Amino acid sequence: MDKVCAVFGGSRGIGRAVAQLMAQKGYRLAIIARNLEVAKAAAGDLGGGHLAFSCDVAKEHDVKHTFEEMEKNLGPVNFLVNAAGINRDSLLVRAKTEDMISQLHTNLLGSMLTCKAAMKTMIQHQRGSIVNVGSIIGLKGNAGQSVYSATKGGLVGFSRALAKEVARKKIRVNVVAPGKEYDGKTYLIEEIEQQYEALIHRSFRYFHITFPSSIQLILISDLLHPW
């Protein structure tokens, strides 16, 4: 079976960096972004055999259609990385309701929908691995980012519960919590050394990361060793 990895938000930032490493490991990549041209450019940089797709993760129809197209053109998706996300910084009293809703839909509902779409094939094949990209803000909070914090904190709870739902099907669900990216490095809101801690469920791990290379390595090692 081909090793097919779908990276939502794979056209930039952490998602793109992960896609590059996955391609080096011999995976066939689906790079998904709202902007198809940007996704095509990122997929083209990976070499041959990788494809780009346009998708709004907040729309279930888009997500279903994207998975159908990926399976038709690449094969069943064995590995899923959810790195798509948006941020609309604002004090809550000044926040626009539409900005609050868009963050909830993209950052939280979007990952729920992609995970749901991926489950059918993963359960059928009794294997698979999912990595959701959260944020240290979801743990620590930050002034002016209350809504964003809620979406990323919710992603942790969702991932923990989903991991318990699908562990018997040999599907793993994990979360990484990077800090704020700046000039190729990642800085945390609070000083957290390079470390990670295992949580209670065998299929769920939650990582505190300081540098993108560490984020990528943990994503890669996690995806390369499904059970």
Residues composing the chain? 227
Over its C-alpha atoms, the chain yields an Rg (Å, rounded) of: 16
| Residue 126 CB neighbour total at 10 angstroms | 11
Token pair 């997500």 is found at 63
Q: Which of 148, 182, 187, 196 is catalytic?
A: 148
Closest CA to 57 of 120, 105, 119: 105
Supply the DSSP symbol for 104.
I
Residue 148 is among the residues annotated as catalytic for this protein: yes
The Cα–Cα gap between 103 and 105 comes to 5
Could you give the residue numbers annotated as active site?
148
